[in-house]
Amino acid sequence: MSAPDRDGQQREILLAYRHADLTAEQLWTRYFALRGSHDLVAVEAYLDGVAELPPHQCDLLAQAVNERLDEVSWTRRAPYSRTLRPSRPRDDSLAALVHLLEGTELAPPERLAHLVEEAGRLIGVGFSPYLVDYAQQYLHPLSAAGDPGPPLPIDSTLAGRAFRSLEVLPADSAGSPCLWVPLVDGVERIGVLRADVADEDTLQDPGLRAQCRWTALLIGHLVVLMTQYGDGLDAVRRRRDRTVPGELIWSLLPPLTAGVDGFVVTGVLEPRHAVAGDAFDYSLSDTTALLFIVDAVGHDLRSGHIAATALATHRSARRAGYGLFEQARQIDETIAAAFGNAIFATAVFVEVDLATGRMRYINAGHPEPLLMRGGRVVKRLIGGRRAALGLGSGELVVGEEQLQPDDWLVLYTDGITEARNSEGEFFGEARLADFLRREASAGYPPPETVRRLIQAVLTHHDGSLQDDATVLLARWTDPRNLIPKG
């Protein structure tokens, strides 16, 4: 529909104004709140038809009238001088997203479940979010009701399969058709969203799947955001109380999984509730991926302080634009100055050029990273050796490696390979390499691979670790080989 001429617009605004139940002064107040620049006398003259206003000011006046008409549910609308974008979606396709965006602006974390349920009703779907616990073993229902129901095991349910595979999966058990949609923040897995629908045929509706996927993406973002300023969502995911060192380390960690075009990195730590000396960090840009893993001596609060100091110093040096040499030197000097020369931390620093796959690294007394290619470990990265951080720099050497598309890089702490079973047998590097080979052949995404790896280590160690165990896995794909998104 074309916009009316200026005289026609003036007539239509006047007609709409008469139905809006506003005085001229009330209308001018609303117009002024929209940044209208003309005074009350000019607006009254326009409404009386004896003066004109510039087109933009007419549109602001029309907006003020229409907002009032929205309040009284009147169908008449004042026209604009040009075609304007709608202030709200014209159909229901984005209704759930708009409701969540507006509803969570000042909402506490505990209100998210109620807002999600309301958002689903706007598009005719029953939404029920489930959040993964920090141990990544169960999906816990987030419900506005008093009794949310039992958690769902990740390894033995369809909901868990959707979480593991990052796929939207339909279900029609006992006459209750639904979709299980992964909840993610970027590429980090947060849980799943159950979307109950009216009938089985609806499960194949591509529009419905798109709406559910959009909503799940937004919910994932909101969970991460709202967890930063309240404990309501954290309480759903936390199944054990954390130790003080554990709280310290977890407060400093980046998201467990992140990715940019051609590169994904994911990490995991155990024991989740009591990690003390292990930590990792990364920074991703258009051109470069920087990885860092650290293991501080000991397993107590002091170990947490050492690891936290190393992490903070690394970020300070990295954000100041320093390279690997200077990052290592600054951490070395900071640990020695703060804790004394007998205290140290092992670490690996990695820099990957995302355009070419050229990798540079420094290994400060840490277990040697593994390189996987074609689904198997092809080498241990033995270059770039130097003393542990805190014991003096010594001779600084940078190792180099040329990655090939789809190579996997595995950084880990000694708690992975030195986990012992009841007979005293180490998990060991050979078992680690064999596990990675089998998981790569199964085609799991990197986050699922590290989840299953840490479970295998825990099982080998009879469920309880004596030392921190951390793994950081990264996969590089040559961006020149990526299929453009159309």
What CATH number does residue 134 fall under? Answer: 3.30.450.40
- In a domain, residue 84? The reply is no
- In a domain, residue 80? The reply is no
* Residue closest to 128 by CA, chosen among 147, 142, 140: 142
Domain count for the chain: 3
DSSP string computed for 88-148: S-SSSTTHHHHHHHHHTTT--GGGHHHHHHHHHHHTT-EEEEEEE-TTSSEEEE--SSS--
The yes-or-no verdict on residue 366 having pLDDT over 70 is: yes
- In a shared domain, residues 223 and 248: no
Q: Distance between CA 51 and CA 27 in Å, rounded?
A: 17
Task: List, for residues 426-481, the tens digit of each pLDDT value.
Answer: 888 888 888 888 888 788 888 998 999 888 888 887 666 777 889 999 999 976 66
The answer to whether 143 and 113 are in contact (CB under 8 A) is yes
Place 8 in a pLDDT band, splitting at 50, 70 and 90: confident
Average confidence score pLDDT of the chain: 89
How is residue 115 written in tokens? 């807002």
426 - beta bridge partners?
A: 420
Q: Domain residues for 153?
A: 95-234
The yes-or-no verdict on residue 76 having pLDDT over 70 is: no
- In a shared domain, residues 66 and 182: no
- In a shared domain, residues 192 and 227: yes
CATH code for position 320 = 3.60.40.10
How is residue 452 written in tokens? 């299953």
What is the percent of the chain where pLDDT is above 90? 60
Task: List, for residues 60-72, the tens digit of each pLDDT value.
Answer: 898 889 888 877 7
- In a shared domain, residues 214 and 110: yes
- pLDDT of amino acid 74: 54
- In a shared domain, residues 199 and 257: no
- Nearest 5°: the CA angle 94, 99, 102 is 120
Q: Distance between CA 279 and CA 303 in Å, rounded?
A: 11
pTM above 0.85, yes or no: no
- In a shared domain, residues 291 and 430: yes
- pLDDT of amino acid 2: 47
SS3 477: coil
- In a shared domain, residues 280 and 334: yes
Place 158 in a pLDDT band, splitting at 50, 70 and 90: very high
- In a shared domain, residues 370 and 441: yes
- pLDDT of amino acid 90: 66
Place 484 in a pLDDT band, splitting at 50, 70 and 90: very low
- In a domain, residue 86? The reply is no
- In a shared domain, residues 166 and 279: no
Q: Considering 182, 204, 234, which residue would you say is the last residue of a domain?
A: 234
Q: Considering 206, 234, 262, which residue would you say is the last residue of a domain?
A: 234
- In a shared domain, residues 395 and 257: yes
- In a shared domain, residues 39 and 24: yes
Higher pLDDT, 459 or 91: 459
- In a shared domain, residues 276 and 404: yes
Q: Distance between CA 419 and CA 438 in Å, rounded?
A: 20
